[in-house]
Structure 1
Amino acid sequence: MNKTLPPISPVIPLIIGMIAISFSPILVRYSDAPAAIQSMYRMLFTVLLMLPFGNKHIRMIRTITRRDWLLLSLAGFFLALHFLLWMESLSYTSIASSTIILALEPVFVMVGAYMVFKDRANKIAILGLVIALAGAFCVGFGDIGLSQTAFTGDVLSFLGTLAVAINMLIAKRILSRIPSYLYSLIVFTITFACFAVYNLALGTSLTNYPSTEWLFFLLLAIVPTVFGHMIFNWLLQYVKPTTISMSVLAEPVGASILGMIIFREMITDFQLVGGVFIMIGLLLYLKSEQRAQIRISDSKLSS
């Protein structure tokens, strides 16, 4: 794990990121465009928004090694796979079910972080993870697997969750050598290229969409991507990948509330109780991380 201390408390950007990603399923559901088209323009507009702010970092592209280019390409591919599978799942199952399955990401990341980085979690962190996942199961209990269509959406969301966990582990490995801005710019560009090839191969129309759809594409770039994924990429320089993954456990709560308000998808008692468990687990985990950061800071001061 990178021992560098962040310039501000990680809690603030984590909260901003959690709120931002909660709007992702809402915007996806509003759009009538295919998931691959939504994803492609989401990435394209994100890259265009980033370019004016990257003169200093873009010059560093020439210093990237072949090995790192391979890792960046894999990260872009798995991010594209995540967007394709998870966004498509929203066409088959409810917002609550899709985002609840997405909350399983910390399980994959914790196992992967231990295997790749020998990153051990303390007892409080593990307890928080267990409580949060119990809440995640509770939230989706009344909805997951009720029909063949819902089951198809559940499987797509599960596979998409596995893909984003792999993407995050790759990001953690490479962000020790490449600035988060440059990492995001390159990976988002590769993800856009993956979707462009995919859509062209399927013969999907690239431009025949009404103005409202283009607005949704832009909002997907600004809200959950710039204020969500980019903030999380930046935080990976300072905190464990499981910490970032734990933050997505708040997405089912925010997304379910928004789904209730906008789409009249009423929250059940199971989802309400589960949401409370999710927040308790998240707070326990973040508290353990904060203590770890304090210990690092104290050791630096005493050395």
Structure 2
Amino acid sequence: MKQRLVPPPISLLLAFIGISFAAPLARLAGVDGFTAAWWRLLVGSMVTLFVAAASDKLPPPYLVLRSVPSGVFLALHLALWLESLRHMSIASSTGIVVSYPVIIGIYEALIKRYITVRGLVGVLLGFLGIAVLSTPWAGATVIGAALSFTAAVFAAMYFLIGRSLRVRGASTLEYTSAAYFAAFLVLLALTPLAGSEPWSVPSRSIPYLVLLGLVPMLLGHSTMNYALGFYPATIVTGVALLEPYGASLLGWLLLGEQPPLASIPGTVLSISGAWLALTSAHPVLKREIKGGR
């Protein structure tokens, strides 16, 4: 019998709350995307490695090396998505970035020649939602929409590589601690090239940046991994796909950012398409698509 540290339904609620805070915390920090991602991965990777060490599940060196490509895509995903928040509304940014199952659906169709009518409908609805969310009426700019969509592509690559490592026997804690640490090392190298100085941020930004690593990545993602022990991945991922609604509500309450009217149908279309694409994927792949920002 699985040990229930937290009642499973409560774990889903905590995961939803955790991931929904990512966009508002990034806005409150008021820094560029590479800096926000650097701090998020610094805090997230250090705490995850500590937990792995305490649980005697530190990733072996070979897994750390194999996780480097995954870390590259995770680092770019977070940096570009967090940067997109400086150019568009929270509703549009989060609505576009959670469309990564749509990208994976296209991969399944083109590379593996696997697609269903449900998956095809999901891809079409997803791209229709992205198109609506990319308009000025939804609070978007061209550069913001491009950054958020590119971040969704990198998220899809991150999950696909994670799938290949997980099916080879790496545990969730081993893989996530290796991938988070690899991603942090990647950003450690990329931030100077991007002209960012994450070690020299205003003191008022630091509490929000630390919370960005603790709340969305650890409370949100860790609780989602816990919930996977009790619920199918599609249910847990369904909670992750609801992030735009939670983030938009928190942005409204904490920042006074009312979601643009056009972002509402766009978000509904994007999430519906992502859900259809997700639930039509291979069973093994569905176990690996779990996360958000």
TM-score (norm 2): 0.75
* Letter in structure 2 aligned against 1:222: L
Q: Do the aligned partners of 2:92 and 2:267 also contact (CA within 8 Å) in 1?
A: no
5 Å-filtered alignment, 1:240-279, equals 246-272=238-264
Paired-residue identity, %: 25
Which range moved further: 109-118 or 95-104?
A: 109-118
- 1:203 and 1:251 map into 2 onto residues whose CA distance is 30
Among residues 210, 220, 226, which one is paired with 2:212 in the alignment? Answer: 220
Q: Do the aligned partners of 1:113 and 1:241 also contact (CA within 8 Å) in 2?
A: no
Match in the other structure for 1:144: 134
Distance 1:226 1:169, change over 3 A: same
Among residues 76, 97, 100, which one is paired with 2:92 in the alignment? Answer: 97
Q: Do the aligned partners of 1:105 and 1:245 also contact (CA within 8 Å) in 2?
A: no
5 Å-filtered alignment, 1:137-216, equals 137=129, 141=132, 144-146=134-136, 150-176=141-167, 177-202=169-194, 204-216=196-208
Q: Do the aligned partners of 2:101 and 2:277 also contact (CA within 8 Å) in 1?
A: no
Match in the other structure for 1:25: 23
Match in the other structure for 1:106: 101
Instruction: Kindly name which structure, 1 or 2, has the bigger radius of gyration based on alpha carbons.
Output: 1
Q: Do the aligned partners of 1:169 and 1:241 also contact (CA within 8 Å) in 2?
A: no
Which range moved further: 28-37 or 197-206?
A: 197-206
Q: Do the aligned partners of 1:27 and 1:216 also contact (CA within 8 Å) in 2?
A: yes
Q: Do the aligned partners of 1:172 and 1:241 also contact (CA within 8 Å) in 2?
A: no
Match in the other structure for 1:301: none
Deviations 1:146-192 (A, max 9, x none): 29971110001000000011101111221231111111111111111
- 1:237 and 1:99 map into 2 onto residues whose CA distance is 26
Cα deviation, residue 198, structure 1 = 1.3
Q: Secondary structure of 1:54's partner?
A: helix
Per residue, is there more helix in 1 or in 2? 1
Cα deviation, residue 20, structure 1 = 1.6
Among residues 41, 48, 53, which one is paired with 2:39 in the alignment? Answer: 41
Cα deviation, residue 197, structure 1 = 0.8
Structure 2 residue runs of 5 or longer lacking an equivalent are 284-293
Cα deviation, residue 200, structure 1 = 3.1
TM-score (norm 1): 0.73
Distance 1:97 1:70, change over 3 A: same
* Letter in structure 2 aligned against 1:152: I
Distance 1:117 1:216, change over 3 A: farther
Cα deviation, residue 105, structure 1 = 1.2
Q: Secondary structure of 1:222's partner?
A: helix
* Letter in structure 1 aligned against 2:154: A
- 2:271 and 2:87 map into 1 onto residues whose CA distance is 27
Which range moved further: 266-275 or 81-90?
A: 266-275
Structure 1 residue runs of 5 or longer lacking an equivalent are 293-303
Which range moved further: 248-257 or 109-118?
A: 109-118
Cα deviation, residue 129, structure 1 = 4.5
- 1:13 and 1:284 map into 2 onto residues whose CA distance is 24
- 2:56 and 2:112 map into 1 onto residues whose CA distance is 28
Cα deviation, residue 128, structure 1 = 9.2
Cα deviation, residue 61, structure 1 = 3.5
- 1:279 and 1:242 map into 2 onto residues whose CA distance is 13
Deviations 1:11-55 (A, max 9, x none): 664443333211111111111222212211211111222233223
Which range moved further: 43-52 or 27-36?
A: 43-52
5 Å-filtered alignment, 1:35-74, equals 35-55=33-53, 61-62=59-60, 65=62, 68-74=63-69
Task: Tell me the C-alpha RMSD between the 2 structures.
Answer: 4.1
- In the comparison of the two structures, how many residue pairs are matched? 277
